[in-house]
Structure 1
Amino acid sequence: MNSHEFFNLHKKLIIKAIEELQYEELFDIEYNHSHFYLKISEEVYYTFLGRISVWDNLQIEEESFRKYSNGKVVKEYTLADFFYEVQDICKMSDETLAQFIEEGNQTIYGDLILNETLKNINIEEIAKYNFKSVDQILSGHPKIIMNKGRLGWGKSELEKYAPESRNSYQVHWCAIAKNNLIWGLDETQLAFSTLYSDSFDESELKEIKEKIASYDLNFDDYLLVPVHPWQWNKYISIQFAPLIYKNIIISLGELGATYTPQVSIRTLSSDTEGSQYDLKLAISILNTSCVRGIPQKYIKDGHRLSEKIEKIIADDNILKDKVIVLKEVAAISCPMPEFDRISGGSYRYKELLGCVWRESVESKLGDNEIAIPTAALLFSNDKGSLVAEYIKQSRLTCEEWLKQYFKSVVIPLYHLQAEHGLGLVAHGQNTIVILKNGAPQKLIIKDFHGDFRMASNSKHINEDFGVSLDTLAPEYLIHDLITGHFVTLLRYFSRVVEENLDYKERDFYHLLGRVISNYQDDKNIGENINLLKVEFEKVLVNSVRFVAGYSETAQRLKPMLGNNIKNPLLSDK
């Protein structure tokens, strides 16, 4: 990659920052003589062409973007330059600014890898990819500016373990004494031996049993626990040394099946054909909003939550043929007493060693079906867009395809809230759409450990979900759909559709409004969850980091509110 391409990545991320921080009401953008201006000082300003979307957010034309200093065009500038200039506007302390810039440089390095990965791949080829392959080449969270922060990883880790590198690797396995673990699975439905067989062949399992026996220990007293190789080297081998020296933890090394990372970093897909399970492993790096460990809260009974959600869906006539649950079938956590007894310490020290087994996407597909994370619909480059290829495969018109998407994805998510008072934070990674011959057919949902909540008036409020679900007032829970899917995914998707398929944003949302109106016609929808009301609350995510900083004892970031958004779904807007 040459210097022009390198600085162009900085420019792209600055453009994204301006767009998102204008939406979050931090930047005042001036408009004069057909151009937009972001004035930093008397000497420095940025100018560009663009438009204001139906969400009242700025959409910048990249080719028109220029930086001026003392009346002259600046040719090379960095993301660090930009955030140093706007530090006071963003109200960041020096400490927060420095770490924010570190996250930015990490994100740009990930973009460098991704650009190299995509150089020789065309859109038509990507449109044939399975879930695992397409997920690896996605850019990351569209709304969060620093979406590849991964603080804690260096160059070698990013090139080996980041999804855009498209590498496969074995995980590090440990045998850990059962009496030192929190663990859960439904033993009437599944055995750990079945999970082991998804990662090991018979000869490998035999060698593992022989190694444990060589310590004069009983294999049945232990569970096999997968650990990310980086996590083992960085944390487990040192911080859990007391348990290792007591043979409570026995290191087995890197062995078994190879895995590739999904865009969420800590979830891994097996490379073995016919594999039934993904692994979700603790990786104690800060990525986007929090450190990506495995919380203990859902370990023991998390599988019961998955089973309960699946049963509710199976018993619902609207959902049963439209929604598939990727069940989290088993989980293990190994507490470390030295950290657990410290009540005021950072949460990350209590999430260092754990894993979850989740059903794989590919295990849920039928003939002529592929599944893609809904975030894949945002993928476009100068040669076209992925959604245009899917529409071409389906032989539907753009409007017919979109209508089918809304019926297959949005309506089931809305029905789950309207009928059951249950909400999933429906962003582009944990909502997966099944396509048959390119056309949307069904929705797959996943990530119930923390991303699944209940309305305070849910008809299931007194039922046993296995774990205690976070409960919100229905008018707040509905934002799992409004903010989680409309603002966080569709806001970008409608732009891709307009720019690549010439289907206007306004028409996109009016079509969605009609689909929702048809659903609501025979339902008694309360105003507090009415998706056709005049305004929505605006939830801010990037600004939260500027306020909260990076304190080691800070809990996961909580969003803030901006001014209300005029509802683009209304036909008279």
Structure 2
Amino acid sequence: MTTTTETRSVVPTVEPVPFAVRVRLGDARADVTVEPLDAVRDAALVQRWLAHPRSAFWQMGDLDVDAVRTYLADVAADPRQHAWLGRVDDEPAFLVETYDPARVTLADAPAAVELLEAGDVGMHLLVGPPTDDGAPRRGFTSAVMSAVVRFCLADRAAGGRGARRVVVEPDVRNTAIAAKNAAAGFRVLREVELAGKRAHLAVATRADLDASPLGDGLDPAPHLRPALADRAHRHLVAKTIAELTHERLLAPRTVVGPATADGPGRYVLPVAGGAVEYRFTARRFALEHWVLDEASIRRVVLGGSRTPGAGPAAAAADREVRVDALDLVVELQPDLRVPDELLATYLEEVSSTLASATAKLERDERAGGPSATDLLDASFQQVEAAMTEGHPGFVANNGRIGFGLAEYRAYAPENGGRVRLVWLAARRAHTHLALGAGLDEATHHGRELTADERAAFADRLADRGLDPADYLYLPVHPWQWEHRVSITFAPDVARDDLVPVGLGADEYQPQQSIRTLFNLTRPERHYVKVALAVQNMGFLRGLSPAYMRATPAINDWVADLVASDPELGATGFSILRELASVGYTGDVYHRTATPSPHRKMLAALWRESPVPRTAPGERLATMASLLHRDAHGAAFATALVRASGLDPADWVRSYLRAYLRPLAHALLAHDLAFMPHGENLILVLRDHVVVRTIMKDVGEEVVVLGERGLPPEIERVRAVVDDTEKALAIFTDVFDGVLRHLAAILAGDGVLAEDRFWALVADCLDDHRADHPDLATGVDLRAQRFAHSCLNRLQLRNTLQMVDLADQSASLLYAGTLANPVARGHRP
């Protein structure tokens, strides 16, 4: 006996569409149909089935035909339930009853009703016993059960009952039906007392059925397939070889070439002590930038002797094997010098990066896009979610260690999901709220929380006997609540120092920086940046309450400087201020002798939205999009240039004026350096042309590289270095971090020759110098060479914490110098 219901629904007045399905029956297939039962026609058949000993749990074996007919007629007259006759290969084989469980079988069981949901449909199943002259058919009941659950879940347009969940409540003693229910994916929620029996209340969704032995099968990870994995491995191997060669950790040997920006060469990279070779073609660009042809990569295990005169037999022993990014890391470990105790962590970050890459490929294969040209007219957040590469320089750039598969789907930026924040009331005595100029607590909470939210949160505190005035409100990521706050900070919650007061009303979209969230419900409102204790790209992505205490003051100072500078105003450059920060420090981890990442798990900040700053005809896009190629290899930057109708040189000139010029001016005029990588800049475009840029992530990233006066409360941003190191703020973060990639994209796509691109960069710097002849600085951005700062070397040295945020300059690793592509005398 099984049950299915139509949760709080009304029977349609139109004639139902017949339901038909083909299911597995033993080693063959059977056609199963379900039709409305006719009480007059079918009473004798159903009475015979009910009288059989196998139907004892129906408790109707003593009814005669007239009584059964009356019973079936009563069911047909009740809009809350229906009776159906099922046929297998045209032969009557089973009875199904569907009903509203809340109003029929469970109406008198409030403990069961509270577990029901909208869209629940109850179901009872009676499988007809074999005829006297027929033997039981192997798999027959399973075939019927599979068909009936499909019938209940199928849309009404297909003849089904349109259930979101099928509900059954069999007698706990009926072990046979319990086993069959389990085989169909039913999950027992609770034992309940019903009239005449103690029952298992169980439910099944479409996903439950598909994943069950009686379903069609459900692939829980459709992205993890050989073909997609091969593409992901090739892409990551190509990037690994390119970036580690750029950082001079590897030295491929020329076979045919050498390559130039105008054409590829053929290369061999020996690894594993010379036992393995990677063979590939590649193009080389300025700043020792490599672009490998992913399809050309061959991994060859060498066999036999490599001594002169060894003969063809040795070469014949070579064998080509699968290209695998993890194997490459292991093969390279002696050269990369990854500490043994950290190798597994780095490999896990690489594995996670591969998994996310395959998920992006599967999404594109399944959903078909968006393409580079689709993004030309996409919204700000559609562009944000379309980014697939992550950081252009780091190999393991999508680690996110701590996310499970469901959490990846919910919270990874590339999935463009919608997230609601969990709000905590944090006891004021242990919590700080730092506010920017002109902002007070009431105004801040009034902007970020609706009146309904504030009232609800205060009521929930009062219901617990707590005074809302004793608390500040702290948003946390739902992952952080589930995995950290409710467990790692359980004592703080238990003593009401942290009180969960509910989900916020607004929905947010995760940004490429993963812990930063954009308000989708009210786009004009602030971003929220929250602590997220997942390991990603060399750091646990927390937020330090102590470090952020000065964040609003830092942002105020930088914003005032930017707003008061005529040059920066002329380029349209601006920053998104981080206006408020909140952090909780009442936990035991803040009382330990040694600081730990646990001190960075309960904090948040609010950053201005760029949406109110756009004028009619302007669009927003993350600057990371300029380095994006879609699944077919088409570059968004190329699409923008071509769609603009401008000469490519004019397009690049406009971009450099909006991006490079204000950054260079801030450094040369104010010793002020930002962290201007792709995700920290927002482009403002008009007619597909970059007309200005907006900088974000100021509080954690900005630095003053000199002795100029600073307010005492922001002194932490100062790092006094010499002029040569000051120049690295442009050389490393702009030239090497962004422009070398963009130059290669435009040159590789035949849009703009590389020499021409760098000549435009030089022109931009020269134009700025000509416009500011009195600017006194020893920083030379046209120097012949500059120190080669290496990012992957940092992560390989310590994948748990790449740099000391309190002294980032001292943490950097260098590999000699690079030739400056805009050095004087380097012009074409």
Q: Is TM > 0.5 for Structure 1 vs Structure 2?
A: yes
Pick from 277, 280, 288: which aligns with 2:529? Answer: 280
Trace 1:127-276 onto structure 2 (pairs within 5 A). Answer: 127-138=376-387, 139-186=389-436, 189-198=438-447, 200-276=449-525
Of residues 233-242 and 516-525 in structure 1, the stretch that sits farther from structure 2 once superposed is: 516-525
Q: Paired residue for 1:24?
A: 247
How far did 1:472 drift? 2.9
Unaligned runs of at least 5 residues, structure 2: 1-222, 258-265, 303-316
1:438 corresponds to 2:688: yes
* Equivalent position amino acid for 2:743 in 1: S
Tell me the equivalent position of 2:130. Answer: none
Q: Following TM superposition, by how much is the alpha carbon of 1:128 offset from its aligned partner in structure 2, in angstroms?
A: 1.9
One-letter amino acid matched to 1:505: E
Pair 185,551 (structure 1): closer, same or farther in 2 beyond 3 Å: closer
Residue of structure 2 equivalent to 1:548: 798
Q: Secondary structure at the match of 1:206?
A: helix
Mean Cα deviation higher: 208-217 or 353-362: 208-217
What number of residue pairs does the alignment pair up? 569
Select the residue among 763, 769, 785 that pairs with 1:514: 763
In structure 1, the partner of 2:583 is: 333
Deviation at 1:72, TM superposition (A): 4.5
Please point out which of 34, 44, 66 is paired with 2:298: 66
User: Where does 1:308-457 land on structure 2 (aligned, <5 Å)?
Assistant: 308-321=557-570, 322-346=572-596, 348-381=597-630, 382=632, 384-457=634-707
Aligned residue for 1:487, secondary structure, equals helix
Quote how far apart the aligned CAs of 1:393 are. 3.7
Deviates more, 1:446-455 or 1:377-386: 377-386
Q: Does 2:524 correspond to 1:301?
A: no
- Is the 8 Å Cα contact of residues 43 and 69 (structure 1) preserved in structure 2? yes
Q: Give deviations 1:146-202, integer Å, cap 9, x for gaps.
A: 00011222222211111112111211111112221022114x623444444555443
Question: Taking structure 1 as reference, are residues 525 and 39 closer, same or farther at Cα in structure 2, changes over 3 Å only?
Answer: farther
- How high is the sequence identity, in percent, across the aligned residues? 22
Secondary structure class of the residue paired with 1:320: helix
Show the 5 A alignment for 1:452-463: 452-458=702-708, 461-463=709-711
Contiguous gaps of at least 5 residues in structure 1: none
Say whether the 8 Å CA contact 1:79–1:101 is kept in structure 2.
no
Q: Would the alpha carbon gap of residues 126 and 230 (structure 1) be closer, same or farther in structure 2, given more than 3 Å must change?
A: same
Post-superposition offset of 1:464: 5.2
Find 1:291's aligned residue among 536, 540, 543: 540
Cα contact 2:539–2:801 (8 A) shared by 1: no
What amino acid is the match of 1:282? A
SS in 2 for 1:38: strand
- In structure 2, give the amino acid aligned to 1:39: P
Q: Partner residue of 1:85?
A: 331
Cα distance, 1:359–1:495 mapped onto 2, change above 3 Å: same
Is contact 2:435-2:552 (8 Å) kept?
yes
User: Aligned residue for 1:44?
Assistant: 276
What is the aligned counterpart of 1:471 among 701, 716, 719? Answer: 719
Cα drift, residue 65 of structure 1: 1.5
* 1:428–1:485 CA contact under 8 A, matched in 2: no
CA-based RMSD: 2.3
Distance 2:801 2:642 in 1: 49
Determine which structure has greater relative contact order: mean sequence separation of CA pairs < 8 Å that are 6+ residues apart, divided by chain length: 1
Mapped partners of 1:151, 1:100: distance in 2:
10
Match of 2:163 in 1: none
Note the C-alpha offset of 1:26. Answer: 1.1
Partner of 1:532: 782
Deviations 1:29-70 (A, max 9, x none): 100234211012444101111122111232212222111123
Alpha-carbon distance change, 571 to 290 in structure 1, aligned in 2, over 3 angstroms: same
Residues 1:453 and 1:370: Cα distance change in structure 2 (over 3 Å): same
Q: Is contact 2:299–2:322 with CA below 8 Å preserved after alignment?
A: no
Judged with a 3 Å threshold, the aligned counterparts in structure 2 of structure 1 residues 10 and 293 are, in CA distance, closer, same or farther, namely same
Q: Which amino acid letter does the alignment assign opposite residue 483 of structure 2?
A: K
Query: Take 2:489 and 2:624, find their aligned partners in 1: how far apart are those partners?
Result: 37
The worse-fitting range, judged by mean Cα deviation, of 505-514 and 243-252 is 243-252
Task: State the AA in 1 paired with 2:426.
Answer: I
Check whether the contact 1:182–1:299 (CA below 8 A) recurs between aligned residues.
Answer: no
Distance 1:313 1:93 in 2: 43
For 2:346, which of 77, 85, 100 is the aligned residue? 100
Question: Which among 212, 227, 233 is matched to residue 10 of structure 1?
Answer: 233
Superposed CA offset, 1:367-392 (max 9, x none): 11112222110112336221223223
- Judged with a 3 Å threshold, the aligned counterparts in structure 2 of structure 1 residues 480 and 281 are, in CA distance, closer, same or farther, namely same
Moved more, 334-343 or 14-23: 334-343
Counterpart contact for 1:323–1:412, Cα < 8 Å: yes
Q: Structure 1 length as normaliser, TM-score?
A: 0.94
Instruction: Name the SS of the counterpart of 1:570 in structure 2.
Output: coil
Letter of the structure 2 residue corresponding to residue 468 of structure 1 = R
**What's the TM-score, normalizing by structure 2?**
0.66
Q: Which has the larger radius of gyration?
A: 2
- Supply the distance in 2 between the matched residues of 1:387 and 1:234 (Cα, whole angstroms): 39
**Other structure's SS at 1:112 match:** helix
